Structure 1
């Protein structure tokens, strides 16, 4: 893809936020590869920054095999978390802000020091984490009917929508991330269960992957930023009027959100 084509793809995604998803970019632009997709993502990031939005963190997506199978991809990806995306426990979601939302339970890292690859190890990543929080990521897609390939979701900011963070921080040393379990409920019914080991063997491995992947692109994971490493379960749809809650083991606690009903 040349610069003009990448710009057209980025604009198509930006326009889709108004309410109409677009066909898969990989169909419209058959030659789109992973590097093209990250370039398209970056063009949107430049647009948002110019509008005054600020990067408050990062997400790693597609780390669990169940999510890779669900969306038909075979490797992780990453996207940016903007200030307007990060919400507190119990926050109400505006249905007008989403096109095709789904909820995922995640263990969010809040960094206490900068982390930059390449060469980041698990020990480096553990030392960089100040605390963890229970989280619900609301993924969304500007691609019609979630018909995405890897390049589609990368270009679409890794299918980001919003992140709801729990209010009680927990020290990383007090958790076994790999064995921390989760029960995801939708409208009071159990929808899915999982554990941290579903995320690349441990969510900390996703943080290592992210630092070593974005570092060569000139990106530092900064102290104070939030990193969500990937879902412990398959994503579950959330509809207007719906309530989603994730209860985590190990003392991590619970986080809940609801989507406002359509008037």
Structure 2
């Protein structure tokens, strides 16, 4: 990509945020499959947000579930940046005006105690570095109209990040069998999605290993204190205004999110 194309793609996505109106896909500005170029666009808007006062608190991994990959027509994971402004407390109403076209998914959150090593990262490295895990709800959102995205669109758009809600009971990652952990996501008490830890690249730990090595390759390795949302354990579902969502993950407990009515 040329500098002009990078800037144009970043500006198109930023304008969607500023105006609250989804934009056209940005893939017309990329060579086919130029994922590194898409991460360069992502970094431009991350830097813009940080310059405006946003504080980075971690990363999110997306597209780890085959079900979600099929929903969006992509075939590989991606990652984005989490900011402090994206965190929402349990049962804190989420205003519909904060999001453009939200969907929700349940996943395992990792909180890192120490930096990941500056070499190829292994499963053991991730387990040693993780202070605890929590159940999480990620509210994904796309600045691209109608979720008409390819891998480069979603990577450039900060991995379609939106908001996140964390459970409040920390658990050691070694205390549970994460691949076998069942997940159920309810909307107003009715199941709308289900899965298990194995849906996330076979094991949520595998997803964090992938992220650690990818972020290191791009020159921005994972650091102690960061939060990592490891990816969906089942299909994502569109958010219904006014609804209450609860995800239960075996061994981790339940995490809840509440949405305001449309227009509120």
TM-score normalised by L of structure 2: 0.96
Q: CA deviation at 1:94?
A: 1.4
- 1:89 Cα offset (Å): 2.0
Looking at structure 2, the residues matched to 73 and 194 of structure 1 have their Cα atoms a distance apart, in angstroms, of 19
Cα displacement (A) at 1:225: 1.1
> Which residue is equivalent to 1:13?
13
Secondary structure of residue in 2 paired with 1:254 = strand
Q: Is the 8 A contact 1:117 1:212 kept in 2?
A: no
Give 1:101 deviation, angstroms: 0.2
Q: How far is 1:149 from its partner?
A: 0.3
Alignment match, 1:59: 60
| 1:95 aligned partner | 96
**Does 2:147 align with 1:141?**
no
The match for 1:182 is 183
- Aligned mates of 2:217, 2:41 — CA distance in 1: 18
The alignment partner of 1:120 has SS state of coil
Structure 1 residue 248 displacement after superposition: 1.2
Q: Aligned residues, how many?
A: 261
Q: For residue 30 of structure 1, report the CA deviation from its aligned partner.
A: 5.0
Alpha-carbon separation, structure 2, partners of 1:184 and 1:205: 22
Q: Which residue of 2 aligns with 1:256?
A: 256
* Cα offset, 1:239, TM superposition: 2.4
Distance, in Å, in 2 between the alignment partners of 1:198 and 1:5 is 36
Aligned to 1:208: 209
Question: TM-score, normalised on structure 1?
Answer: 0.96
In terms of mean alpha carbon deviation, does 158-167 or 80-89 score higher? 80-89
Q: Distance in 1 between matches of 2:139 and 2:118?
A: 27
Q: 1:121 aligned to 2:109?
A: no
Could you tell me whether the CA contact under 8 Å between 1:39 and 1:155 is conserved in 2? yes
**1:4 paired residue number:** 4
Deviation at 1:209, TM superposition (A): 0.4
Q: Separation in 2 of the partners of 1:137 and 1:30? A: 28
CA contact (8 A) 1:141 1:159 kept: yes
Deviations 1:124-180 (A, max 9, x none): 010000000110000000001001000000000000001100111111121111001
Structure 1 stretch displaced more, 32-41 or 124-133: 32-41
Spell out, residue by residue over 1:191-228, the C-alpha distance to the aligned partner (whole angstroms, 9 max, x if none): 01100000011000000000000112221212111101
Following superposition, the deviation at residue 185 of structure 1 comes to 0.6
Contact 1:179 1:195 in 2 (8 A): yes
- 1:117, distance to aligned residue in structure 2 (A): 4.8
Counterpart contact for 2:104–2:237, Cα < 8 Å: yes
Partner residue in 2 for 1:112: 113
Q: CA RMSD in A?
A: 1.2
Q: Which runs of 4+ in 1 moved over 3 A?
A: none
Greater shift, 180-189 or 111-120, is seen at 111-120
